[in-house]
Structure 1
């Protein structure tokens, strides 16, 4: 682990304007800087960077934090790796505790990767296979392709280089059974697999000796989890962020050949279906997702499953299916680049694809089957955001495929659909937020103010006040309050006056509501009315009443 003192030293050296400015263009705006937010699509700058407070906040999507948080979000890195990235950028030395196990495991993977790469150069059959598939030398180097020899040679390399056999087993390079230790990859072309942050975590292997298992991956380890990894992402990510597009394929060679042909946003799942664990990676940079799958039955089923997942997650994109036994790698090898370009520009939207494939599963000439198809389509439609369910673009595909009216489709989803303005409309109360902003800027006043108000007094911004009370001042919502130029910061005297007005309004409303309440006991109602009136009278005289004195009312 990185020592806390090292992290603090790094923080003291960082300037948020410099850090953020390394990634996006900033423009001066008064005391702050503004930019188009990289975390959501927008045409008008809503990201504010404050050099005085050393924080950023987007008033469009709510993203916010310090320099480290920005790098975490932009680069999609966990906290320790963002620290290491910044330390590298600013040439700052980090000290670590004695917990170096993770570093030792990465070190073994890196050394074995160099061994595999060296072995590829001396294995003609492996080089011949890659050449026949059309892989250039430059691509071999870019993707660090290698070759895993016999089990004996790999084990000898590990032992002769004084690497821990136990750690090699832990990384998945070696395996064990009751009698022996063996290499997991034998006589296979190797594809090193990196995390999205650029750390080597495992390998994929392709047989060149006709083994029944054409491709295999490293087993599940503390470093390697194929359900949240995408092959080639560490190379493609900058292109993905810039082009706002990601092509998801099914194979290592598809990725390599697509990159070779200029489709540099290509990645691949690791022999597994797209999973919910992949979603955070796919959302990074908000790209359009293109699923490029085989057109056989297995490929279509995988595409349907993946498309349903992406629809329900609100991710936009489309499907491309490759038929006739061809895949993207084959098409690049056959120089069909222009054809590929046209294919990727004419994808079928996820929703339309799923509805079409769902309907074809049933004999809609049969009324019973047609009803089943209708119900299945409605399930898909209900997975779409509530704001879009009644949009003609989502109603029409079902109506068209089943030969029914859009009104019938709309009626089917409206039965159990409830809309709430709170789902998408947030009221902004400047008085409440100005009180919170004042307390954020003048933290010495918080304890005093808490004697008089609590979150129950806030109608619109209870959550923000609760976060303030809990000391979570680095929360994006509070960072947004700090940087909101429409909000005022009160002086101590102004704050007292505002609190009096704020509380008079609150208890006056409580009093009116209580007077109309017919479900409360008469004796209790009379008592509370008297207490509220006493509180309001004191407030009007300029006396702040301690919250504890009326907390049981």
Structure 2
């Protein structure tokens, strides 16, 4: 069992922006953040994340809650699984207890194994020679904690000698069970590269074979601790530089990252043997950096860069592509001392949209009219995935590359976008101001209840009733807390707001009574006098006690 005190301490460490931002691409929106809601078929950003209130809320489907609720709903996890997931994310060590309430120790299998691999490198001259041959300095090997995984039995013996069960090795993806139930280590005779989460927790390994194994590189398998589609190698070391330089270089391999850091490009990271995916976007866009995709100039690298360009441009990410030619990658260029050339490449990436259009057009024989039409159709389909202003900015470039008159490259006009929020009317704003102020300052509730009844609320009667019923977690109240255009007043300002609310309410009643045909002349005159008395006091800034018109 997870210790309850440990869970409470974890909650204090959680930041809703970091948690949601590790899954979804957040955009700053005033004091809050917005993104597309993952809990329904959202077509525009409907989910708001509040750092001050530490909650999220979708204004379309009503989903909302705190960090724990978000991860539970997003990953479909149980409560204990969610707590462990969040602890991994923020590098927090949970305390566990037995059924008898006795605390269990933190096992730290990955950290212990990593130290073993690092020590093995010192005892493996040919592995050190390999690193030296690739230009990796001892300082870089130490910085990136490069190690060496020996024969399978040696790793298994080490884990066993430290008291780790095979089930623990399997859980963390460093061991497995093969045919005939024979255990084996996943990393055998490989240089090892520890892989950390953004919060600096060791979650997996990459390994480069030094034997004749057909798989040159392998990574840890997918586990509850390791998801390669959400991780970037070297990010924990690069993030400070990324935030400072407002730039991130994404490469294809471990050695590229290490050598670029060695050369001073400390904002370099790498994907883990996989293409960029939507799951990478929240991590890549943290700090709103310019993104430079730096891939090999072979067919595989160009195709990967094209897919990355589609993905990143669709998310409105600024930056571009750098391709390396002559059979050289970033690590080779550093090793050959080509720093000026590297600096120039990283300063002048080809913008994602321009790169994508150019590569799409290059696939076709433009001397063939049919092929030219296909190129136009494909390019226009891509442009239509982008905002209209950006589409129109690139139609000229596309017509030039295709050799077509610009009138033939047209973007169809878009239907006007529906506004996220309806325009609030006067009484709507007053009602919301009163509700939000009480939600934020419950001690002011008596001031309100002496003068206002829920029946007075025209637009937000239900929300005010929920407030009086103390249903504070209800989605309709949670969303009011997150509406930035609704202010929270102090007591003096609240009273002024209530005066305006009450004056508006009684003025409407005054007009209704004046035109009411079912009332007798005497009753009508009596009500008019009573309401006029109230309105006179309200004009002077004085609150008046609530009386139902029907009982006057």
TM-score for the superposition, normalised by structure 2: 0.71
How many residue pairs are counted as aligned between the two chains? 466
Distance 2:106 2:356 in 1: 42
Structure 1 unpaired stretches of 5+ = 21-38, 49-60, 459-463, 511-525, 528-532, 547-553
Say which of 403, 412, 415 aligns to 1:418: 415
Residue 272 of structure 1 deviates from its aligned partner by 0.6
Counterparts of 2:404 and 2:421, CA distance in 1: 31
Q: Specify whether residues 262 and 121 from structure 1 end up closer, same or farther in structure 2 by C-alpha distance, changes over 3 A only.
A: same
Structure 2 residue 139 is matched with structure 1 residue 138: yes
* 1:124/1:105 CA distance change after superposition, 3 Å: farther
State the match for 1:202 in structure 2.
204
- Provide Cα deviations, 1:483-519, integer angstroms capped at 9, x if missing partner: 958x675567545433335557999999xxxxxxxxx
Q: What is the rounded CA distance, in whole Å, between the counterparts of 1:9 and 1:494 in structure 2?
A: 41
Contact 1:452 1:544 in 2 (8 A): no
2-structure distance, mates of 1:327, 1:422 = 47
Which digits, 9 at most, give the CA deviation of each residue in 1:279-316, with x for residues without a partner?
11011111111100111111111111111011111111
What are the superposed Cα offsets for residues 308-335 of structure 1, whole Å, 9 maximum, x if unpaired?
A: 0111111111000111211000101111
Cα gap change, 1:337/1:177 in structure 2, threshold over 3 Å: closer, same or farther? Answer: same
- Deviations 1:146-165 (CA, angstroms, capped at 9, x unpaired): 00000111111111121111
Paired residue for 1:171?
172
**Secondary structure of 2:412's partner?**
helix
Contact 2:196 2:236 in 1 (8 A): yes
- For the aligned residues, what is the CA RMSD? 4.7
Q: Report what 1:302 is aligned to.
A: 304
Determine the structure 1 residue equivalent to 2:396.
396
Of 245, 248, 266, which aligns to 1:246? 248
Q: Does 1:451 align with 2:448?
A: no
Cα offsets for 1:227-258 (capped at 9, x unmatched): 11111111111111111111110000000000
Are the counterparts in 2 of residues 105 and 171 from structure 1 also a CA contact under 8 Å?
no
- Report the equivalent of 2:438: 439
Per-residue deviation, 1:478: 2.7
Q: Conserved in 2, the CA contact under 8 Å of 1:292 and 1:319?
A: yes
- TM superposition shift of 1:86: 9.5
CA distance in 2, matches of 1:371, 1:509: 67
Confirm or deny: 8 A CA contact 2:291 2:320 kept in the other structure.
yes
**Residue aligning to 2:324:** 322
Distance 1:317 1:274, change over 3 A: same
Give, in whole Å, the separation in 2 of the partners of 1:263 and 1:371: 43
1:74-473 to structure 2, matched below 5 A, reads 107-179=108-180, 180-390=182-392, 392=393, 394-410=394-410, 412-414=411-413, 417-420=414-417, 422=419, 431=430, 434-443=433-442, 445=445, 451-452=454-455, 456-457=459-460, 470=473
Contact persistence 2:91–2:200 (CA under 8 A): no
Q: 1:156 to 1:3 in 2, by over 3 A?
A: closer
Secondary structure of 2:454's aligned partner: coil
> In structure 1, what is the Cα distance between the partners aligned to 2:373 and 2:112?
60
- How many angstroms does 1:437 deviate by? 4.0
Supply the distance in 2 between the matched residues of 1:293 and 1:399 (Cα, whole angstroms). 28
SS at match of 1:389: helix
| Partner-residue secondary structure (3-state), 2:390 | coil
Task: Please give the alpha-carbon distance, in whole angstroms, between the structure 1 residues aligned to 2:416 and 2:505.
Answer: 32
Q: CA deviation at 1:428?
A: 9.7
Unaligned runs of 5+ in 2: 18-25, 33-46, 57-65, 72-81, 462-466, 519-523, 536-544
1:211 Cα offset (Å): 1.8
Structure 1 residues 326 and 505: CA distance shift in structure 2, 3 A: farther
SS at match of 1:267: strand
Q: Secondary structure at the match of 1:172?
A: coil
Per-residue CA deviations over 1:432-476 (Å, capped at 9, x if unaligned) read 553344323432539956723668459xxxxx99x9964579969
Equivalent residue of 1:182, what SS? strand
How far did residue 426 of structure 1 move?
A: 7.7
Task: Supply the distance in 2 between the matched residues of 1:2 and 1:505 (Cα, whole angstroms).
Answer: 60
Q: What is aligned with 1:65? A: 51
Shift of 1:169: 1.6
Q: Which moved more, 1:173-182 or 1:245-254?
A: 173-182
**Quick check: 1:232–1:267 contact (8 Å CA) kept in 2?**
yes
- Whole-Å separation in 2 of the counterparts to 1:285 and 1:422: 28
C-alpha contact 1:149 1:186 (8 A) present in aligned 2: yes
**Structure-2 change in CA distance of 1:135 and 1:360 (3 Å):** same
1:85 & 1:174 partners in 2: Cα distance? 23
CA contact (8 A) 1:170 1:221 kept: yes
- With the length of structure 1 as denominator, give the TM-score of the two structures: 0.71
Equivalent pair of 1:145/1:190 in contact (CA under 8 Å):
yes
Q: Distance in 2 between matches of 1:174 and 1:87?
A: 23
Q: What are the Cα deviations for residues 505-553 of structure 1, in whole angstroms up to 9, with x where unaligned?
A: 999999xxxxxxxxxxxxxxx99xxxxx9xx99988779799xxxxxxx
User: Contact 2:253–2:273 (CA<8 Å) still a contact in 1?
Assistant: yes
Cα distance in structure 1, aligned partners of 2:243 and 2:2: 29
